[in-house]
Amino acid sequence: MSCKTFISLLLLQFFVCGAIGQNIDLIGKEKAFHINGGFGFNYTSTITNDSNRIPMPAFWSANLNVNLDIYGFAVPLSAVITNGKVNLSNSFSQFGMSPRYKWVTLHVGYRQYSYSPFTVGGQTFMGGGIEAHPWLLRLGFFVGQLHKAVAWDTLSVSQQTIPGSYPTNVSTINGNNYYSTQASYSRWGWGAKFGFGKESNFVDFIIFKGQDRPSSLKDAASVTNLVPEENLVLGMNLFQRIGKHLTFGFNGAASIYTYNSDASDISDQLDVNIPLKGVLNKLIPIRATTQFQWAGDVSLGVNYPNFSIQTQYKHIEPYFKSMAISSFLSDLEMISVQPSWSLLHQKLRFTNMIQFQHDNINKYKQLTTSRMLINSSVSVNLSNKWGFDVSYNNFDMTQKKLQAVTPDSIKSHQLSNTFTVAPRYIFANTHLTDVVSVIGSYTNMDGGVQSNGVSNRIRNFYTTLNNSLGLAKGGWGISSGLNYNSAKTALNSLQSYGFIAGVSKSFLNHTLGLSNNNTFLWNKLDGKANGNTYSIDLTGTYCFKQKHNVGFGFNYLFSPANGVYNTRDFRQTRISVSYQYTF
């Protein structure tokens, strides 16, 4: 954003705010001007012999948060700049503000809008919007750019998709990963919401329209390899609290998604009677590449002081998608039940979750994958000092073939059971606090048999004893513990045992804090010594003049090859520095 554009938007923001919500009677009663916030910077560098484990070898970011209050007008400002290669060729910056006055909120710049789980949520738009809640009305509107145009990179040699927080292309050169955004046309969208009610009882109707702009790219490579897309989503949200103990919720959406908006319009050739066909065709023409999908969920809850049960049914059609949703699973049907209760004045608490789900809703796939999840835990608090937790987790994934010609070798099955016990003891007085805890966990995972006849079964047992001691006088903290881990597969048996130790101390009237944590493990592979695993952590923070905070961190990790978790020796050194100023 240019400086002139930014200043114009800022002035317009204050003008619109004053025109909509200013109340002359209150101006003299409100504080004229108040400002608070902060800005910061952090940098992290990671050196390793396996770059595939590190999504960002070098990373820095700067952030700014400012809250302005002018005669009762709340104007929050935020901005962030990040760069994964420590240069300006692949950086991005974001700036946005959402001034609020009474029941009106305006949005300018990079903002996220959350309308419902299946229509608008999680995506960042560069533009503007408004939310208004006069009386019992729930109104919203926004328009903006979802992402800029990025030309097709013909020089990219090695690319792969890395799942996680950075959905980008990766180029690997000499063992280093370099990140670049994925080629695409400029994508714009707008959305609106109209609802009625309050948070405990409301209904919302939502519309979103998004589309790519083919005119944003003219180079031959982009025109050849990219196709523009278009999307229209209609949704409804409903939440009702019935009496004191019953709640009911519904979220639904229908998505019309065109995967190539250059394809021919076939609206007049359809024999299907589509409701409001004329209106819909003006918003999004039906083309040969257009798909209609829907998604929805229904929930019912019963809540009492010592008992509650939450149930949900969810159905998402295959390939359902909305340009205004960051990501979610499709081709899914799910039922979940979550009962919980407590006894003896909540000294005994039970929490449970049972979930069934499967894909292949339209029976287009050769295999149907079904999953069952069970999570159950019991928390016992005998007193303020003694207590323990017991939990059980089950995951069962099976595949069923629909056609007899489908070979059994491509089917997969996985069954995992985990039992965990964690007793604890807490001692505290005015001089010290001591927490002793034990965690024991056993996991039995059966992944079936590989094509070569080798079993995929893994049995893992883990236990640790920890003691954390804090001394009020002197600001000392001391931690120690013992670890043991055993993992067995059909091919290997790995054991590791060792200790953890750490110390922390505050200095200069608690303005300087230093801490050190260390782990050392002896490893055995198939009964023979297999090197040692060790890590060293050093961190420090220094706060001066009550507004400035400087931090640093150092970590070194070495883990030998064992054939179970590491195929080769792994080394990693990470250094980080940060600065934060608050006002």
Give, for all 583 residues of the chain, the pLDDT tens digit.
344 433 333 333 333 333 333 343 444 455 677 888 999 999 999 988 876 666 667 788 888 888 888 766 677 777 778 764 443 434 456 778 888 888 999 999 989 999 999 999 989 999 999 999 999 999 999 999 998 898 877 655 344 443 333 434 555 444 444 445 578 899 999 999 999 999 889 999 999 999 999 999 988 888 888 899 999 999 999 999 999 999 999 999 999 999 999 998 887 766 666 666 667 777 888 888 999 999 999 999 999 999 999 999 999 999 999 999 987 788 999 999 999 999 998 899 999 999 999 999 988 888 899 999 999 999 999 888 999 999 999 999 988 887 666 665 566 778 999 999 999 999 988 888 999 999 999 999 987 666 566 677 889 999 999 999 998 888 899 999 999 999 998 888 889 999 999 999 999 888 999 999 999 999 998 888 988 999 999 999 999 988 999 999 999 999 888 766 667 888 999 999 999 999 9
The reported pLDDT for the residue numbered 569 is 86
Q: In a 10 Å sphere around its CB, with 0-12 CB exposed, 13-18 middle and 19+ buried, how is residue 528 labelled?
A: exposed
Q: Which residues face 427 on adjacent strands?
A: 434
The reported pLDDT for the residue numbered 297 is 97
Locate 188 and state its tokens. Answer: 């714009």
216 DSSP assignment = G
C-alpha dist (Å) from residue 382 to 292, 423, 488: 56, 11, 36
> Thinking of the domain 413-583, which architecture would CATH place it in?
Beta Barrel (2.40)
The reported pLDDT for the residue numbered 448 is 67
E strand spans, 447-569? 458-471, 476-488, 493-507, 512-525, 528-544, 548-559
Give Rg (Cα) of the chain: 29
The reported pLDDT for the residue numbered 2 is 41
Locate 550 and state its tokens. Answer: 């400087």
Taking CB atoms within 8 Å and a gap of at least 24, the contacts of 138-141 are 138/193, 138/194, 138/195, 138/196, 138/197, 138/202, 138/204, 139/193, 139/194, 139/195, 140/113, 140/115, 140/191, 140/192, 140/193, 141/190, 141/191, 141/192, 141/193
The reported pLDDT for the residue numbered 89 is 37
Length of the chain: 583
CB 126 within 8 A of CB 185: no
> What is this structure's pTM?
0.78
The count of other CB atoms within 10 Å of the CB of residue 389 is 17
